[in-house]
Amino acid sequence: MKTGRPLLWVAGLSLCLLVAVGVVTWTVVDDNPYVAPPAPTASASGPSPALATQALKQLERAVRTGDEQAARALAPSGDDAAADRLAGIVANARAARVTDFSLRYVDTEGAYADGAWHATADAAWRFAGFDPAPATAEVLVSLQDDGDRVAVTGIGGGGRISPLWMSGPLQVRRSADTLVLVEGSAREARDVARRAEAAVPVVRRVLPTWQRGLVVEVPASVDALDRTLDADPGTYDQIAAVTTSADGQLTPQSPVHVFVNPDVYDGLRPTGAQVVMSHEATHVATGAFLSTMPLWILEGFADYVALRDVDLPVARSASQIIAEVRKDGAPRSLPSADDFGTRTPGLGATYESAWLANRLLAQDGGQAALVRFYRDVDGGVPVGRALQTDFGLGVPAFTQQWRGLLQDLAS
C-alpha cells in the first residue's frame, strides 16, 4: 500500500496598506472611504481556510505542549465527544512521546453543509525512541463553524491514512523496548504489551543486532484497521496482524509498526497470539515490508523465529498443511506470491508449508546458514544461487526434500 506524499500548496496573504504622509498628491475619485476588510469569520456561505489554519495551529501547539484543556477548547461548543477526542490526542501524544509533530492546512475537501466541512492537512509525527524518522501523511480533519471561529471535531477517514493515535483516547503502554497503543480496554492493552515485550528477546536470540524495538497498534476492529491503514474493506479479514509503515510510504526511513486485527487476534489462544506477535516482530527487525524476496522465505523465516522455542509438536503447528497433503497430496512447488493473498483460501496451510521449508533448511545447514540465506536473498541474490552457496542445494533438489517432508508428516 504505497501512498505518495501530497503536494502542499501554500497561498501567501498579501496585505496592501494605504498610508498618507504629508500632502496627498493624487485625486480621490470615489466618495466612499476605504474600509479594511473584516477579519475572516465562520460563515454559512462557505468554509474559511484562514480560520481552519488557525485552529490546526492551535491543535498542533496543544499537542506539542501537552495541553489537554487547550485541545478541548478547540471542539464545538457543547460537543463533549469531540472535546474528549481532541484531549485524547494530546494524552496519547504525551504517553507515546510524540515528537516532531506538525499539522498544516492544505485544502478544503468535499461538500459544505450546515457549517460542517472537511479539510486535508499535511501531518508529521514520530514516536521518540522507536521511529528513525517522522511519519508524514495527508490526513482528513473534520471541522465545524462555531460562531466566529472554526472548531475541530476529529481527525481521520476520507480515504486517507488515519493515524490511530490521532483518533481519540487510547490505552498506551511503553517500556524500554516496546510501545503499544490500543483502542480498547486496559486489560487488552496489558495483554498485548506483555506479548510485545516477550517477542523482543525471541527475535534477538536469532537476530541479535536488532535493537530499535517494537511499536504495536491495535484499532478497535478490522474495519478500524482498514481505516487506519487506508486499506480496502476486507483486506485483513483473515489476518491477525500486519507489519507495514505507519504512513503508507515505502522508504528505508519509514517508521515500521505492527498493526493488529483484534477480530482475529483476540480469538487466538495465548500461544498462538504470542507466535503472531513474535512473527511480526521478526518482520520489523528484518525490514520485511520493503523486501521483494519470495514470500515463502520471508514469511517462513518469520515463523521459524517465532516458533523456534515454542514447545509444540509439529503435527499441531502444521496441522492445516498436513490435512491438505492427506487430501490432495503434496504441492508440486514451493508457495508462490499468489498463495499468500490475504483472501486466498487455505492461507494458514500456506504459511505452515513455508515455515516447514525454512525449518528444514535450518535443520540441514544450521540456523546461521538460514539467516545468511535470508540476508543473501533479501540483498538480491537469486534464490537458486543462494541455496547452492549456503546449503549446497538447487531449487529442484530442495523442493523434493520439502515435498518428502510434507508426505512423511501426512503419512
Per-residue pLDDT tens for 326-376? 999 999 999 999 999 888 889 999 999 999 999 999 999 999 999 999 999
DSSP secondary structure code for residue 218 in this structure: E
Q: From CA 377, how far away is CA 357, in angstroms rounded?
A: 15
pTM of the model: 0.86
Specify the pairing of strand 98-113 against strand 116-127: antiparallel
Q: From CA 76, how far away is CA 53, in angstroms rounded?
A: 16
Q: Which three cell numbers stand for residue 306?
A: 517465532
In DSSP terms, which residues pair with 141 in a beta bridge? Answer: 119, 155
Is it the case that residue 250 has pLDDT exceeding 90? Answer: no
Is it the case that residue 1 has pLDDT exceeding 50? Answer: no
pLDDT at position 44: 53
Instruction: Give the position of cell 476486507.
Output: 234
Is it the case that residue 11 has pLDDT exceeding 60? Answer: no
Is it the case that residue 280 has pLDDT exceeding 70? Answer: yes
Phi, psi of 178 (to 5 degrees): -140, 150
% of the chain exceeding 90 in pLDDT: 85
pLDDT at position 341: 87
Phi, psi of 138 (to 5 degrees): -85, 125
pLDDT at position 40: 52
Q: Which residue type occupies 154?
A: G
Q: What is the mean pLDDT of the chain?
A: 90
Count Cβ neighbours within 10 Å for each residue of 36-58 and write b for 16 or more, e otherwise: eeeebebeeeebbbebbbbbbeb
Domain ranges of the chain: 49-162, 170-272, 291-411
Mean pLDDT of 214-241: 95
335: left (phi over 0), alpha (psi -120 to 50) or beta: beta
E strand or H helix that includes residue 172: strand 171-174
Count of all residues that appear for the chain in the document: 411
Q: Coil, strand or helix: which one is 156?
A: coil
DSSP secondary structure code for residue 46 in this structure: B
Mean pLDDT of 169-185: 97
Is it the case that residue 386 has pLDDT exceeding 80? Answer: yes
- Please write the tens of the pLDDT for every residue from 26-45: 333 344 444 444 445 555 57
Q: Side by side, which strands form the sheet with 135-146?
A: 98-113, 116-127, 135-146, 149-155
Q: From CA 197, how far away is CA 68, in angstroms rounded?
A: 29
Is it the case that residue 404 has pLDDT exceeding 60? Answer: yes
pLDDT at position 69: 98
Mean pLDDT of 212-226: 96
Instruction: Give the position of cell 501523511.
Output: 137
pLDDT at position 15: 26
Q: From CA 302, how far away is CA 355, in angstroms rounded?
A: 8
Q: Coil, strand or helix: which one is 68?
A: helix
Q: From CA 259, how far away is CA 225, in angstroms rounded?
A: 7
Q: Which residue type occupies 139?
A: V
Mean pLDDT of 11-38: 34
Decide: residue 114, CB within 10 A, 0-12 exposed, 13-18 middle, 19+ buried.
Answer: exposed
Confidence of residue 46 (pLDDT cuts 50, 70, 90): confident
Q: From CA 221, how far away is CA 140, in angstroms rounded?
A: 20
pLDDT at position 343: 82
Is it the case that residue 10 has pLDDT exceeding 90? Answer: no
Is it the case that residue 18 has pLDDT exceeding 90? Answer: no
Write the CB contacts of 229 (distance below 8 Å, at least 6 apart in sequence).
1, 161, 236, 242, 244, 248, 259
Is it the case that residue 2 has pLDDT exceeding 50? Answer: no
Q: Coil, strand or helix: which one is 10?
A: coil
Q: What is the fold of 49-162?
A: Nuclear Transport Factor 2; Chain: A, (3.10.450)
Mean pLDDT of 35-60: 78
Confidence of residue 23 (pLDDT cuts 50, 70, 90): very low
Mean pLDDT of 302-313: 95
Confidence of residue 297 (pLDDT cuts 50, 70, 90): very high
